[in-house]
Amino acid sequence: MRICVKILNDFELLRFSTAGSVDDGKSTLIGRLLYDSKSIFEDQYDAIKSASEKRGEEEVNLALLTDGLKAEREQGITIDVAYRYFSTPKRKFIIADTPGHIQYTRNMVTGSSTANVALILVDARQGILEQTRRHAIISSLLQIPHLVICINKMDLVDYKQEAFDNIKRNLKISLRSSIYMMSLSYQFRR
Amino acid sequence: MNYRLHHLKELEAESIFILREVAAQFSNPVLLFSGGKDSIIVSYLAKKAFFPAKIPFALLHIDTGHNFPETIEYRDFWVKELGCRLLVGSVQDAIDQGKVTEEKGFNASRNFLQTTVLLESLENGKFDAAIGGARRDEEKARAKERFFSHRDEFGQWDPKNQRPELWNLFNARKHLGEHFRVFPISNWTELDVWEYLAAEKVPLPSLYFAHKRKVFERDGILLADSDFIPKKPHEIPLEMTVRCRTIGDVSCTGVWESEASTIEEIIEEVATSRKTERGGRTDDKRSHRKVINC
Ligand SMILES: Nc1nc2c(ncn2[C@@H]2O[C@H](COP(=O)(O)OP(=O)(O)OP(=O)(O)O)[C@@H](O)[C@H]2O)c(=O)[nH]1
Ligand SMILES: [Mg+2]
């Protein structure tokens, strides 16, 4: 039996969730975030790499990091919240990657209920959809203090500023949370 | 608002809340105790949650009979420390009574037989909640599990049909014959567990610290030399300095070549092994020896 000493790093804990319509790229974004922050173990990466190959996909599908259920992989959508963890030198993060499909809205609510920040993804080609509004309103009802609207898949609109501005103009929802905007493309390239 | 908790204190508060919720909502809970760090931390948190009263439930150990002797020694010490009751479900008894059949071959393990014995123990004890030390960062399906995880009358989890679990409200409604698994440390990572055990000076089994042991390699994994694992002719045990990263049944607990003999060194190892295992770096083959606890 051993006894130990010393108190350790004091991190701040931040919980955030993803939201937005089905297929807008929530799980891929989280996968990319984990990849870029080097939070993926090699065996995990190997596993999703071979799973992607088996599915006949050319690139490593980073959404498979959170879409771990058999049914999710068969259908290519998120069904229930996946919780993932990573940290930077300043903060520890608890991520809740939630489903966009309307049928699983209750799971989105489950994952978002404890979040301090919600990332709401928007497909740059599609703009604000019914489900985007629904998730934004739910996040606000849940009293998540900060919402970040992420215009994703910018690569598919050639990174046009205009596309971003149009969506920004269309975003007329009155919410109680403070809102930030950003544009992204998190498709994985080797 | 400038008030904020140390991240370990926040995780601790969450876990303690859940343990108290179990005591409030269930009529007959039990804490599953394997002797590993995760079940040690859950039982330690249970002690804190109800102090100065005693932990209001027993510990249940599903004993495969293929233990490291150190595990049993620690278990008995820890139960005394906590001042709680220990129940044991024996896989050996189930085999002797013909309820389960022992696997055959080199990779035979009693690990899978545990489930049957666990379910039977829960049924016999009429337990309606089994508290466990599973963490969401351990595995991709676990990453999806609720704190209060419903099990049907066959003990099955249906991941496609989980209940909502909002804020800190936990729903323990069930039909007769069904039960719940409850995971108070769902949100802890491996590193959080070690940092907390260090900060709280929790006594730990010696197996976690570097020690000399006869081991042999199989499929890239180091296994402890033991009567419980039949060796192939070319598998010659060598003495090495190793430690366990997880503790379970001898037949499926890999050991790790390590010099970490204090908890600080373990923390350093866990933190840096993440670094070396991280994407893009394939330099040190040794650091990739995967540790299994199936
Ligand atoms: N071109 C491009 N494709 C993307 C981008 N992000 C995601 N995708 C693709 O969009 C599809 C859906 O991605 P997911 O991450 O599964 O979407 P999701 O929002 O998690 O979907 P649900 O969880 O089912 O609601 C996948 O084929 C991704 O490869 C991006 O930035 N650019
Ligand atoms: Mg998804």
> Is pTM beyond 0.80 here?
yes
Q: Does B275 touch chain A (CB under 8 A)?
A: yes
Of A13-27, B23-37, B67-81, B91-105, minimum mean pLDDT range: B91-105
Contact call for residues A71 and B135 (beta carbons, < 8 A): no
Q: What is the structure's pLDDT at A174?
A: 60
Q: Which amino acid is at B119?
A: L
Q: What is the structure's pLDDT at A7?
A: 44
In angstroms, the CA A148 to CA B12 distance is: 29
Cβ-in-10-Å burial (0-12, 13-18, 19+) of B97 comes to: exposed
State the closest ligand 1 atom to the C-alpha of A101, by its place in the atom list counted from 1: 25
pLDDT tens digit sequence for A77-94:
999 999 999 988 888 999
User: How does the average pLDDT of chain A come out, rounded?
Assistant: 87
In angstroms, the CA A56 to CA B278 distance is: 25
The number of C-alpha atoms within 13 Å of B256 and in the hemisphere containing its C-beta is: 24
A33 to A11, A37, A60, A95: CA distances (angstroms): 19, 6, 14, 10
- Give the model's confidence band at B288: pLDDT under 50 very low, under 70 low, under 90 confident, else very high: very low
pLDDT tens digit sequence for A91-117:
899 999 999 999 999 999 999 999 999
Give the Cβ contact number of residue A156 at 10 Å: 13
ipTM score for this prediction? 0.88
- Write out chain B residues lying below 8 Å of A110, CB-based: 146, 164-166
Q: What is the structure's pLDDT at B280?
A: 25
A129 CA distance to ligand 2 middle (Å) = 16
pLDDT above 90 as % of chain B: 61
- Write out chain B residues lying below 8 Å of A45, CB-based: 279
Ligand 1 pocket member A100 (CB < 6 A): yes
- Give the model's confidence band at A154: pLDDT under 50 very low, under 70 low, under 90 confident, else very high: very high
In angstroms, the CA B170 to CA B23 distance is: 12
In angstroms, the CA A95 to CA B290 distance is: 25
Q: Does B207 touch chain A (CB under 8 A)?
A: no
Q: What is the structure's pLDDT at B220?
A: 79
Residue B119 sits at φ, ψ, to 5 deg, of -60, -40
Q: Does B144 touch chain A (CB under 8 A)?
A: yes
In angstroms, the CA B147 to CA B169 distance is: 10
Q: Does B137 touch chain A (CB under 8 A)?
A: yes
- Residues 74-93 in B contacting A (C-alpha not used; CB under 8 Å): 74, 77
In angstroms, the CA B238 to CA B76 distance is: 30
- The answer to whether residue B294 scores a pLDDT higher than 50 is no
Q: What is the structure's pLDDT at B82?
A: 96
A13 CA distance to ligand 2 middle (Å) = 23
DSSP string, chain B: ------HHHHHHHHHHHHHHHHHHH-SSEEEE--SSHHHHHHHHHHHHHHTTSPPSSEEEEEE-S---HHHHHHHHHHHHHHT--EEEEEHHHHHHTTSS----STT--STTHHHHHHHHHHHHTT-SEEE----TTS-TTGGG--SEEEE-TTS---GGGPPP--TT-------TT-EEEE-TTTT--HHHHHHHHHHTT----GGGS-EEEEEEEETTEEEE--TTSPPPTT---EEEEEEESS---GGGBEEEE----SHHHHHHHHHHHHHHHBTT----GGGG----B-
pLDDT tens digit sequence for B163-190:
999 999 999 999 988 999 999 999 999 9
